[in-house]
């Protein structure tokens, strides 16, 4: 089982991936750049980028060769991914809670990605049988989905608060 944690307590852009306390890789989201970089301890580098505006995400080797792709949907709760010509699906374990994502292949659950605890931002990744870069790509997709859900929830609260304040005459 892998554990992902922010490099620093204040960072939500750089994650370190460890197994049994040993560092395996780092995921760095570039500030003001469209791609994310994965660097393994063996020195291999991969990039995650969107293929066109609104297109699928892809993880590519250093020479630009795509390894896997994934399509995210704003209106659906799952993510469809393709690796080595095989379809995979990432979906929340429950419709109401998204702390745990299940990785499915041909309708069978083959792994999980879940938050370690409610308060922290550490993540446990339990996916066996796939190469590390692909596992990290799946983790990154879930991480982005969690961030999108948090932003959506924050916006809903702000809109709700604003509507309540305007109904109460607070702004008059």
The per-residue pLDDT for range 45-76, each reduced to its tens digit, is 999 998 877 789 999 999 999 999 999 887 67
Q: Is 85 left (phi over 0), alpha (psi -120 to 50) or beta?
A: left
**Tokens at residue 33, please?**
């750049």
pLDDT score of 161: 61
Task: Answer for the pair 54, 61: CB distance below 8 angstroms, yes or no.
Answer: no
pLDDT of residue 7: 85
Q: Cβ distance 129 to 114 under 8 Å?
A: no
| Whole-number percent of the chain with pLDDT over 70 | 80
Contact 127, 111 (CB under 8 A): yes
Q: What are phi and psi of 166, to 5 degrees?
A: -70, -35
Q: Within 13 Å and on the Cβ side, how many CA atoms surround 66?
A: 14
Q: How far is CA 113 from CA 55, 80, 110, in A?
A: 24, 15, 11
pLDDT in the model for residue 29: 86
Ranges 3-7, 115-119, 148-152, most confident: 3-7
Q: Which domains does the chain have, with CATH numbers?
A: 2-167 (2.40.160.200)
- Give one DSSP letter per residue of 11-74, joined into a string: -SSEEEEEETTEEEEEEEEPTTSS-EEEEETTS-EEEEEESSTT--EEEEETTS-EEEEEEE-S
pLDDT tens digits for 88-147? 999 999 877 778 999 999 999 999 999 987 766 899 999 999 999 999 999 999 988 877
Structure confidence by residue, pLDDT tens digits, 11-50: 667 999 999 999 999 999 877 777 899 999 999 999 999 8
């Amino acid at each position: 089982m892998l554990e992902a944690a922010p490099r620093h307590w204040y960072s939500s852009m750089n994650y370190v991936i460890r197994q049994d306390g040993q560092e395996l890789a780092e995921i760095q989201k570039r500030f003001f750049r469209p791609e994310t970089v994965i660097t393994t301890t063996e020195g291999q580098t991969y990039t995650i980028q969107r293929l066109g505006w609104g297109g699928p995400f892809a993880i590519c080797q250093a020479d630009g060769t795509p390894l896997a792709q994934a399509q995210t949907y704003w209106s659906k709760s799952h993510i469809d991914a393709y690796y080595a010509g095989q379809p995979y699906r990432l979906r929340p374990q429950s419709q109401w809670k998204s702390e745990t994502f299940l990785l499915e292949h041909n309708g069978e659950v083959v792994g999980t990605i879940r938050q370690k605890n409610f308060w922290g931002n550490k993540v446990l990744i339990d996916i066996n049988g796939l190469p590390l870069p692909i596992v990290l790509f799946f983790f990154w997709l879930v991480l982005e989905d969690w961030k999108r859900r948090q932003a959506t929830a924050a916006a809903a609260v702000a809109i709700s608060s604003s509507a309540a304040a305007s109904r109460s005459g607070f702004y008059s």
